[in-house]
C-alpha cells in the first residue's frame, strides 16, 4: 500500500555522481525506487529487466535519514543503510520526502519492537 508517491532525484554512485530522477513509492515496509522509463503495471507480470531495475530500500536495512541541507529550492538528504552504505537524494522543499520517509521508518521500527516484545 503506497503511503506517498512521486519523483525524487538520487545521486548516482559513479564517478560523475549525476542526479537521476526516480519514481518513488513509499510504503509501510520501505521505499521503492523505479526508473522513470519503467512504470510498473500491478496487473501485468513485469519483464525481468524491469523488475531488476526496481530497487527496494527496506526499513529493516535502514539506519537513519539525515537531512543534510536546504539549498535553493531543494532539500538534500541521505538515507544511511545498516551496512553503512549512504544514498543521497534531493527533492523540492515542499515535497517533504525526508520527513515522510523518516516517519514511516520510525513507525516500522516501532511495529517491529512491539512484535519482538510480544514474542
**DSSP-assigned letter for residue 100:** H
More confident call, 10 vs 67: 10
Nearest to 3 by CA among 39, 33, 40, 31: 31
Buried b or exposed e, range 87-105, using 16+ CB within 10 angstroms: bbbbbeeeeebbebbbebb
Task: Tell me the whole-structure pTM to 2 decimals.
Answer: 0.84
Helix (H) / strand (E) element for 110: namely: helix 97-118
Tens digit of each residue's pLDDT (9 = 90 or more) over 42-53: 555 555 555 668
Tens digit of each residue's pLDDT (9 = 90 or more) over 11-62: 998 889 999 999 999 999 999 999 887 555 555 555 555 566 889 999 999 9
Q: Cα–Cα distance between 70 and 82 in angstroms, integer?
A: 25
Residues 6 or more apart in contact with residue 40 via CB below 8 angstroms: 34, 46, 50, 54
Hey, what domains does the chain have and what are their CATH numbers? 2-38+51-118 (2.30.29.30)
Amino acid at each position: 500500500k503506497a503511503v506517498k508517491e512521486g519523483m525524487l532525484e538520487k545521486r548516482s554512485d559513479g564517478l560523475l555522481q549525476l542526479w537521476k530522477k526516480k519514481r518513488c513509492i513509499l510504503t509501510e515496509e520501505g521505499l521503492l525506487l523505479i526508473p522513470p522509463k519503467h512504470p510498473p503495471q500491478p496487473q501485468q507480470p513485469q519483464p525481468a529487466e524491469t523488475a531488476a531495475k526496481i530497487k527496494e530500500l527496506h526499513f529493516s536495512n535502514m539506519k537513519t535519514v539525515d537531512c543534510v541541507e536546504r539549498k535553493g529550492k531543494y532539500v538534500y538528504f541521505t538515507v544511511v543503510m545498516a551496512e553503512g552504505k549512504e544514498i543521497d537524494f534531493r527533492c523540492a522543499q515542499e515535497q517533504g520526502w525526508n520527513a515522510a520517509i523518516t516517519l514511516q521508518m520510525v513507525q516500522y521500527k516501532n511495529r517491529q519492537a512491539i512484535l519482538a516484545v510480544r514474542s
